[in-house]
Every structure is written in structure tokens, then in C-alpha cells.
Homo-oligomer: A and B are copies of this chain.
Amino acid sequence: MDSKEYQIRLSHIRKAFQEAGADACLISTHVNIFYLTGQIFSGYIYLSGNEDPLWLVRRPAGLEGPRVRYIRKVEQLPSMLQEEGLPAPGTLLIEGEEMGIDAWMRIQKALPATRLLNGSHALRVARSIKTDEEIALIRQSAEAHAGVYRLIPGIYKPGMTDRDLAVELDCLMLRHGNLGLFRAFGDMDAFMGTVLAGDNAAVPSPYDFALGGAGVPSNPVGASGLTLQRGMSVMVDLSGNFTGYLDDMSRTFSIGKLTDEAYRAHQVSIDISNRLQEELVPGAVCEDLYATALKMAEDAGLGHCFMGTRQQAKFVGHGVGLVINEWPVLARHMNNRLEANMVVAVEPKFVIEGTGAVGVENTYVVREGQGEKITLAEERILDLEP
């Protein structure tokens, strides 16, 4: 990462902890260390005031730099700060969502006079406004991702199961450079994404996805092993991690013709997407976008199957970037405002009984005027039957 980019990201993190009322910030998750430095190490970054941050590295061996110090355990932090001439912070922001209680208590014990703040959310918010370099990396993922989706008709074979198709898709993604890793915030399991065919799309999942799918008992989401048959829709919802930065895109395919209702609902999804694209502007309120989407679905008589049937997800979009579920969330009760250069996936989807899931998901950059769509692939339902 070049020095200018580093300074921009530092300024985002600094703003986050200073606005939270902290004097310093101790970062320990891979995601935030990568955000800040462009590399991953095990250890901590200590950032206070206006100095360059300290890189407190546990592993790998051999990192070098003027601000690199090796650390074995967090108990060394006070003496290391002292050696650098830095005071113990009055208030320290740490990643309380992503560390165990023991790690939290050890930091508190090492810095008994310091007030600890759980800054996980503030750091997610800080990361939500992407730099030009980050947007370029997400765009690069989206372009490669779209290239793979164009190849989907070529991997379909009559008689295959949804899982067969999901496997061939994963292989296609990997062979075209997808890095495989699917990072998420929280206890959210998946593997690149999901393929949902036919009525499996209506099966509720424990996970916080837009839709579900039975999956397998040890990972209950997505493909369930059913044979693809005429009249089924097949929704492909994978995450494109070709650069370390993720885009998110869903497209719908069909096995032969679908019902008129399915095509109509698919068009409503496209209409909602286009409408929300106009609203993906700085200052827009997140819950308003969800309300707009829900109202359009209801006005089309499709409220009962919007974002599922037996279980309906209560959001229509979410940030993407280093993880699949970044800030912000387009959902009820989210009264925060969009800002320029946030990157948001919008996924108004419908589940049609007897057919399956229909709709599209695209990733947009929030811009003045309207959102910029970066997932550029055919949005019509493509028939996979030869």
C-alpha cells in the first residue's frame, strides 16, 4: 500500500476512535490489520494521536520497519508504550465484538487505569466509506465475477443436481482467480455463496442471508441435492473475492420456461433495483431504501414472497468490502445516512412457490446523482436448457 493510501486509511481509523471519545485504538483482527496496512499479521496495531501507528507483531517472523516491534503477549503493551514515550491511554478503543472475554480482561488488567471501549462497530463504520483504491479492487472483483457468470450456461448439464451445479460454479470461480476465502463478520458460515433451485429457495436457514436453502445439516444454507428440473428457477448468489475485496452479485437462471408470475416478479426485482440505484446517494436514509423496496413489492402484490416466504429477511441490502456483510445495512430501524463511496449490495428477491427464487443482486458505489452499478452482467432470466 502506498503512503498516501495508508494515510487516508489511518485518517478513517483516527476519526473513528476520536469521535468515539478514545485517545487511542488497539487493532487486532486480521480484517482491520489488512485494512490499515495492506498485509496481515498476527498481533496488534496501536494508534494514538498523530504518530505513526506501532505495529506490534507476534507472527510472522522477519517483518521489518521503523515502527515494527515484536510482542509475545498483550501484557507487554504498557512497557512497550513507555519505551516509545507514549502515555497509557485514558480511553482505548478495542475490537470487543471480535475478541473473547479473556482477551478483553487481559487488556484491562494490563492497563488498569484505562477505560476500554468496544469499537468494533465504529471501525465497521470507518471502513464503510471506501477509498478509490478499495473501490478499484471491488470493481476488479466484480468484473471477474461477471465474466464467470457469463460462462454459467456452459457448465449446465441436464440431470445435474443443484449441488453439482454449485460445485461446477465454485470450480469456475476458482479457476478464474477467485481466492475462495469468504470473510464475514460474526458467526456466519458459507462457502463463496449459494445456489438456490426450485422450492429449496423457500427453506428457512439459521443464517443471516437474504434467502436460505436447506444445505446440509452441518451447513444449512444453499443447495440441497435436488435434481434440476424443467420449470425451476436457479438463483446463483456468490461473492466475488478476486482481490481480497468482495463484490456480491446474484443472477437468476431457469430450466426451461418459468411461469408468467415468476418473470413478472423478476422484473419487479429489477425495477426495485433501478429505483434504489437512484436513491443510493449521499444523505439517503438506509431505512427509507428498505421501505421503498418493500412498498414496491407490496404494490406489485408480492409482499408475501418478498425476501422469502416462510421466513422473510428484513433487509434489502448491505455493505460489502473486506467482508461480505459490511456496514451499512438497508433495513428497518436503520436511520443512518448513506455517504459517498460507500459500497452496497442491493438484493430485492422473491420466492415463487413451485418455481424458486427470482430477482437480481447488484453491487453499487454510492455517488452524487445516483449509485454506480459495478456488477455488469445480463439481468434477464437466462434459460439453461439447450
* Interface of A toward B, CB cutoff 8 Å: 29-30, 34, 38-43, 58-62, 96-102, 104, 118, 120, 167, 170-171, 174-175, 179-181, 183, 187, 189-192, 203-208, 212, 216-220, 241, 243-245, 310-311, 322
A-B contact pairs, 26 of them (CB 8 A): A30-B187, A38-B217, A39-B217, A39-B220, A40-B218, A40-B219, A40-B220, A43-B206, A58-B206, A59-B208, A60-B204, A60-B212, A61-B310, A61-B311, A62-B311, A96-B101, A167-B175, A170-B170, A170-B171, A170-B174, A171-B174, A171-B175, A179-B218, A181-B218, A216-B244, A218-B244
Task: Specify which chain B residues have a CB less than 8 angstroms from the CB of A100 in the assembled complex.
Answer: 96-99, 118, 120
Contact of A219 (CB < 8 Å), options: B29, B99, B102, B179: B179
Is B311 touching A205 in the complex (CB atoms < 8 A)? no
- Do A59 and B311 form a contact, CB below 8 Å, given A97-B100, A217-B39, A220-B40? yes
A100 to B101, CA, bound (A): 7
**Bound-complex Cα distance A355 to B98 (A):** 39
Check A189 against B181 for contact (C-beta < 8 Å).
Answer: yes
Q: Bound state CA distance, A193 and B23, in angstroms?
A: 40
Interface centre among A42, A174, A311 (most CB of B within 10 A): A174
| Chain B residues with CB below 8 A from A179, complex form | 191, 216, 218-219
Closest B residue to A175 by beta carbon equals: B167
CA–CA, A59 to B220, complex, Å? Answer: 11
> Chain B residue with minimal CB distance to A59?
B206
Nearest CB in chain B to that of A117: its residue: B101
8 A-B pairs with the lowest CB-CB distances in the bound complex, closest first: A218-B244, A60-B204, A97-B100, A180-B191, A96-B101, A171-B171, A61-B311, A42-B206
Complex interface: chain B residues within 8 A of A245 (CB): 218
Q: Which residues of B contact A212 (CB under 8 A)?
A: 60
User: Residue on B with the closest CB to A216?
Assistant: B179
A102's nearest neighbour on chain B, judged by CB, is: B118
A205 to B120, CA, bound (A): 25
Provide the bound-state CA to CA distance between A325 and B89, in Å: 35
CA distance A58 to B204 in the complex (A): 11
Cα distance, A170 to B322, chains bound together (Å):
22
Kindly identify which residue among B39, B60, B97, B170 contacts A101, using a CB–CB cutoff of 8 Å: B97
CB neighbours (8 Å) of A104 from chain B are 101
**Complex: chain B residue closest to A245, CB-CB:** B218
**Nearest CB on B from A178, distance (A):** 9
Known: A39-B217, A61-B310, A218-B322; 20 extra A-B contacts, CB below 8 A, are A29-B187, A30-B206, A40-B206, A40-B217, A59-B204, A59-B208, A60-B212, A60-B220, A61-B311, A101-B101, A167-B174, A170-B170, A171-B171, A171-B175, A179-B216, A179-B219, A181-B219, A183-B189, A216-B244, A218-B243
B205 with A217: CB separation less than 8 A: no
A57 to B179 Cα, complex, angstroms: 34
Residues of B within 8 A of A99 (CB): 100-101
Central interface residue in A207, A208, A322, by most chain B CB within 10 Å: A207
